[in-house]
Chains A and B, each alone.
Chain A
């Protein structure tokens, strides 16, 4: 079964009177409660919690009980994913910006090429959207001795989501992070994708357990990089900045930033409105600021939302729309960056 790492309740950091409380420096290892001291042997080393530097270290107890040595499941995951050529994460610090929409568009667009085998994996455990967007509502997963088989929504397009495992489609998944990590590991370890050219991975918003887990479990299999999605307004950019910072910390290459919901053209009078106004320069300025490629802007189009709700491919249905062109440009740019001959 899944080995979930132990979690220690965090002891609270108290501040002195008159002080301006600030977040204390954070440990590199997210299981620890205090930063690793200078001569730390490494919280996962054999000596963790026992070496000289551990005396007086606030993490001593946690470190003594952390599993030692490399995670035994990592080689299994690496082996499993060795048949997957390109692995792309879709990320954003902000919710509702279009991560799942983009994941499904990427999946549709790639799978339109008969030569490619494509997989889409949904790591948004509390709010899974991929089954609906890819038209696989009501499917369930087939489990066998050798693992789980993905749900196929096309000859060359398979997918996996927790939604397929729920007793009732509206069940709430009230899980703490530690439990989600276990499922994510299983998704990586036990799903039989077979040979894939692309695995696109949808994530929830934020920088927490899911993000840490997927990046650490896939460290050795190698992630090509992340497609980061934003909308133009600063409230979104603010969170996306944090996500890019996370990518840097976790050594994930940012393949590019795409700005979604950029402007709306009235179908009646063709007048353009900036619904989410880019008061601070939008995605393009952020990309420049952070030194990452900007892959383009996709306008608001009510038909995108509708085709997501019905599980049809917007790209097939409205190939002539400006949004479709913009999305396909992003897909091409992505394929270029991961070194796939288009």
Chain B
């Protein structure tokens, strides 16, 4: 059965966001990648395969929303016509209850997400992942084996503890033949709002040096930016403005836009052209 999963039939590009380490900002990078691409006019889908700690519903201000069933499959939650989101968070009734699953169950859920979600036409599908190299990662790699994804964006924070785990993730990518589009060093330095002094709370340059040592593309540094969190947390009170509008005014946007532009400039081929459907 050498076929890509059914749900990807009209998806032109697939990008995964990975890191060996937790809490480095994978979900934040996923969110920003999606918002940036939507701001450029692309049709974007976000698939969250972090099953035990799904952050994506909160990131997009969609907690409490539900997935619907249609004859074509699971209808993801629409933030706007150009932005569709799927997360296990939308299937759980109580936001406080835990999903205590062993591997096979996680595997089954991810498989079902890839076969049943009705994305329709998408320019980009961004996949947010949990930390590590285990069931979720093995499953998504197996599922995408014949799907020809564009590749993955790696995220790390600058300190060595995090870089060490990311090295493991790079080995994983090489094993499963995920192309690495580049690496982002997140939470790199904090500029004090009172005196403008920059403190490297999680040290600095770890990600950049790793790229140099391994010959990977360095996509750039993102500083610690409390205004991004604030935007996520306060998205409730908006006056006819969308999250994309807010993000375009956010201080993180300019830098992130440059990062995404680097990837867009690769002009990676539309995966549908390469597939014999």
Binding site for B on A (CB under 8 A): 7-13, 15-23, 26, 30-31, 33, 93-97, 100, 125-127, 129, 132-133, 169-178, 180, 204-209, 211-212, 231, 233-236, 238-239, 241-243, 245-246, 249-250, 264, 266-269, 271, 273-277, 279, 300, 302, 305-306, 308-309
Q: Is the CB of B201 within 8 A of A177?
A: no
Contact A269 B197 (CB under 8 A): yes
Q: Once bound together, how far apart are the Cα atoms of A93 and B171, in whole Å?
A: 25
Q: Given the known A-B contacts A7-B103, A208-B101, are A21 and B67 also in contact in the complex, defined by CB atoms under 8 Å?
A: yes
A249 with B98: CB separation less than 8 A? yes
Q: Is the CB of B164 within 8 A of A268?
A: no
- B215 contacts chain A at the CB level, 8 A cutoff: no
Given A96-B23, A205-B131, CB of A12 within 8 Å of CB of B111 = yes
A211 to B100, CA, bound (A): 9
Q: How far is the CA of A235 from the CA of B53 in the complex (A)?
A: 9
The reply to whether A96 and B24 form a contact with Cβ atoms under 8 Å apart is yes
> In the complex where A126-B134, A133-B161, A234-B58 touch, is A208 in contact with B91 (Cβ < 8 A)?
no
Q: Residue B104 at the A interface, CB < 8 A?
A: yes
Asked if B263 lies at the interface with its beta carbon under 8 angstroms from chain A, I say no
Q: In the bound complex, do residue B102 and residue A208 qualify as a contact, i.e. CB atoms below 8 Å apart? A: yes
Q: A208-B103, A309-B159 are in contact. Are A174 and B138 (CB under 8 A)?
A: yes
Q: How far is the CA of A8 from the CA of B100 in the complex (A)?
A: 17
B175/A10 in contact, CB under 8 A: no
Tell me which of B1-9, B118-126, B146-154, B222-230 binds A.
B222-230
Known: A95-B23, A170-B164, A250-B100. 10 other contacts (CB 8 A): A26-B99, A30-B102, A127-B20, A129-B165, A172-B169, A176-B138, A205-B52, A242-B99, A267-B199, A302-B202
Query: Of A17, A126, A264, A305, which contacts B69 at CB under 8 A?
Result: A17
Taking CB atoms and an 8 Å cut-off, the chain B residues in 156-203 that contact chain A are 157, 159-162, 164-165, 167-172, 175, 190, 192-195, 197, 199-203
The answer to whether A277 touches B229 (Cβ under 8 A) is yes
Q: How far is A94 from B24 in the complex, measured between Cα atoms in Å?
A: 11
Chain B residues near A (Cβ < 8 Å): 20-24, 27, 52-53, 55, 58-59, 66-71, 74, 88, 91-93, 95-108, 111-112, 130-135, 137-138, 157, 159-162, 164-165, 167-172, 175, 190, 192-195, 197, 199-203, 224, 226, 229-230, 232-234
Set B53, B171, B202, B233: member contacting A172, Cβ < 8 A: B171
Q: Given known contacts A21-B74, A94-B23, A207-B100, is B130 in contact with A276 (CB within 8 Å)?
A: no
Whether A8 contacts B104 in the complex (CB less than 8 A), given A245-B96, A306-B203, comes out as yes
Nearest neighbor of B95 in chain A, beta-carbon distance: A238
When distances are taken between beta carbons in the complex, the residues of chain B under 8 Å from A95 are: 21-24, 53, 130-131
The A contact surface, by secondary structure, is loop
Complex contact A127–B22 (CB within 8 A): yes
Please state if B23 and A97 are interface contacts (CB–CB under 8 Å).
Answer: yes
From B52, B67, B157, B160, A93 is in contact (CB under 8 Å) with B52
Alpha-carbon distance between A279 and B100 when the two chains are bound, in angstroms: 27
Tell me how far the C-beta of B248 lies from the nearest C-beta in chain A, rounded to whole angstroms: 22
Name the B residues within 8 Å of A300 (CB-CB): 201
Pick the contact of B52 from A31, A234, A242 — CB < 8 Å? Answer: A242
Which residue of chain A is the closest to B204 with respect to CB atoms? Answer: A302
Q: How far is the CA of A18 from the CA of B69 in the complex (A)?
A: 5
Q: Whole-angstrom distance between the alpha carbons of A249 and B202 in the complex?
A: 35
Q: Is the CB of B96 within 8 A of A242?
A: yes
Task: Give the chain B neighbours of A211 by CB distance below 8 A.
Answer: 100
A178 to B21, CA, bound (A): 21
Bound CA–CA A74/B157 (angstroms):
40
Q: Which of B70, B102, B161 contacts A17 (CB 8 A)?
A: B70
Distance of A18 Cα from B75 Cα, bound (Å): 10
For the complex, give the distance between the alpha carbons of A182 and B229 in Å.
39
Chain B min CB distance to A3 (Å): 16
Q: Specify which chain B residues have a CB less than 8 angstroms from the CB of A239 in the assembled complex.
A: 52-53, 55
Say whether, besides A127-B165, A127-B168, A273-B226, A175 and B71 are in contact (CB < 8 Å): no
Contact of B132 with A275 in the complex, beta carbons under 8 Å: no
Known: A126-B20, A170-B171, A273-B190. A266 touches B106 (CB 8 A): no
